[in-house]
A and B are shown apart, each in its own frame.
Chain A
Amino acid sequence: MTFSLLHATDFADRLLYNIIPPLKAGMIVLADRYAYTAFARDATRGVDRQWVRELYSFAVRPDLALYFRVPIDVSLDRLMARRVKLKFYEAGMDLGWSANPIESFRLFQGKVLDEYDRLVDEYGLSVISAVGSITEQQRLVRDLVAKHVETTHVIRSAEVLDEQPA
């Protein structure tokens, strides 16, 4: 519970200082992880699913939510290629499911992925396969993002000019 609540506190702080002000100013906010991370991770740690969702009901619903889906083995390979040691919480070691960090990571992140799969339908996440090359993924991302941004920004800049004092 404290793990969940501390992250919610951090999220609330960033929401009010770093996310809402730029949104009000008409800017695009890119969030690396969002409340969905908490939904998946906290539920895996045994926190009530509905409770976490209601906890985050103060969050702004994103215009577009991208979920990069990757099989456990791929993510494990990528992590191990970059650094030797898995982080304690990332591997879910706090849950005591296995004393072996790699085994613990498999068990924990496997359940986290199951939780993400629930979220895809529940919140309409756009799934991108993160197995492909960076270029392939980026092309998909740009296509999805383009649909959301191309409609408004030209008109908005004209309005701002008109408001300037003479």
Chain B
Amino acid sequence: MNNLPEPTGAAIDEPISGRIQPGRYYGRSIPYLPINGYPGKLIAVEGTDSVGRTTQIQLLREWLEVKGYGVVETGWTRSPLMQPTIELAKSSNTLNKLTFVLLYATDFADRLEKEIIPALKAGFVVLTDRYIFTALARAGVRGVDRAWLRNLYGFAIAPHLVFYLKVDVDTLIGRVLLSRGMDFWESGMDLKHGDDIYDSFRAYQQRLLREYASMADEFNFNVLDARRSINKIQDELRRKVQAFLEPSQ
């Protein structure tokens, strides 16, 4: 049983890094959607669960709108096309690591074509709550081939800014327990490292954090210490966003 391609033509796994141009496709583009010269800006806020991404985006959005920017928000698995399917698939036990990855990629493609690209074309600031790095981290932990993943997400647009809200696993555990508690997928229970949800959560999130850390250089993350207060983090975000959007001031 050989795997399928080694097709004719171009080299297969060109690494994404080293030639990232913000606002352009990472890899092989969507040929029918040229995006060169679109005036909008894409800002991604990444991080594991309970690091305060949503809160920070909400505050950033208000601030940007007061300053007169048009803002569009998008978030992981929020596409109208795929959200019901993903919820259904997660509730059954039939997902494997490949279909898991591909369902997320479909959701992302839908939001990219229907929300992100039109907004960039119209000059909006697009704030995205999680981006492809979430998918790369989760799939990486599950042992999906890295070169394949990077080709898969080659149709993603490189954000102008990527903020990574970083915490340590102990802080993360405290926050999750104080809010919703640990759920099946966030604990990586599908990886079957044991029956104990606490141990599984800790091990899984630790591996996720390592995956994110390994992408920080590759994808030019702006790393923010997410253990600080909401306001401190927001101040730093605003400073950096302002420096990017209004470099002269």
Are A6 and B28 in contact (CB-based, < 8 A)?
Answer: no
Are B148 and A5 in contact (CB-based, < 8 A)?
Answer: no
Out of A12, A16, A57, which one reaches B4, CB within 8 Å?
Answer: A57
Are B30 and A48 in contact (CB-based, < 8 A)?
Answer: yes
Interface size on B, residues (CB 8 A): 35
A16–B144 Cα distance when bound, in Å, is: 14
Are A51 and B28 in contact (CB-based, < 8 A)?
Answer: yes
List, in ascending order, chain B residues with CB within 8 A of A16's CB: 96, 98-99
Interface: A165 (CB within 8 A): no
A5–B154 Cα distance when bound, in Å, is: 13
The stretch of A58-66, A76-84, A134-142 in contact with B is A58-66
Q: Which chain A residues (109-156) contact chain B, with CB distance < 8 Å?
A: 122-123
User: How many residue-residue contacts, CB under 8 A, span A and B?
Assistant: 89
Question: Interface SS of chain B: helix, strand, loop or mixed?
Answer: loop
Q: What residue of chain B has the Cβ atom nearest to residue A8's Cβ?
A: B102
A12–B30 Cα distance when bound, in Å, is: 22
The stretch of B7-15, B122-130, B235-243 in contact with A is B7-15
Interface string of B109-132 (1 = CB under 8 A from A): 110110000000000000000000
Q: With A35-B4, A56-B4, A122-B7 known to touch, is A51 a contact of B99 (CB < 8 Å)?
A: no
Smallest beta-carbon distance A25→chain B, Å: 13
List, in ascending order, chain A residues with CB within 8 A of B30's CB: 1, 46-48
Q: With A46-B31, A46-B32 known to touch, is A2 a contact of B103 (CB < 8 Å)?
A: no
Smallest beta-carbon distance A95→chain B, Å: 10
Q: What residue of chain A has the Cβ atom nearest to residue B10's Cβ?
A: A50
Smallest beta-carbon distance B30→chain A, Å: 6
Q: What residue of chain B has the Cβ atom nearest to residue A62's Cβ?
A: B4
Interface: A53 (CB within 8 A): yes
Interface: B94 (CB within 8 A): yes
Out of A35, A47, A57, which one reaches B31, CB within 8 Å?
Answer: A47
Out of A2, A5, A57, which one reaches B3, CB within 8 Å?
Answer: A57
Q: What residue of chain B has the Cβ atom nearest to residue A95's Cβ?
A: B32
Interface: A23 (CB within 8 A): yes
Are A2 and B110 in contact (CB-based, < 8 A)?
Answer: yes
Are B3 and A6 in contact (CB-based, < 8 A)?
Answer: no
A5–B9 Cα distance when bound, in Å, is: 22
Interface: A55 (CB within 8 A): yes
Are A9 and B4 in contact (CB-based, < 8 A)?
Answer: no
Interface: B155 (CB within 8 A): yes
The 4 closest A-B pairs by CB, nearest first: A46-B32, A5-B106, A9-B102, A1-B109
Point out residues on A near B: beta carbons under 8 Å.
1-2, 5-6, 8-9, 12-13, 16-17, 20, 23, 35, 45-48, 50-51, 53-61, 122-123
- 20 A-B residue pairs with Cβ-Cβ distance under 8 Å, sorted by A, are A1-B110, A1-B155, A2-B82, A2-B110, A5-B102, A6-B106, A13-B96, A48-B28, A48-B29, A48-B155, A51-B28, A51-B151, A51-B154, A54-B151, A54-B152, A56-B4, A57-B148, A59-B4, A122-B7, A122-B8
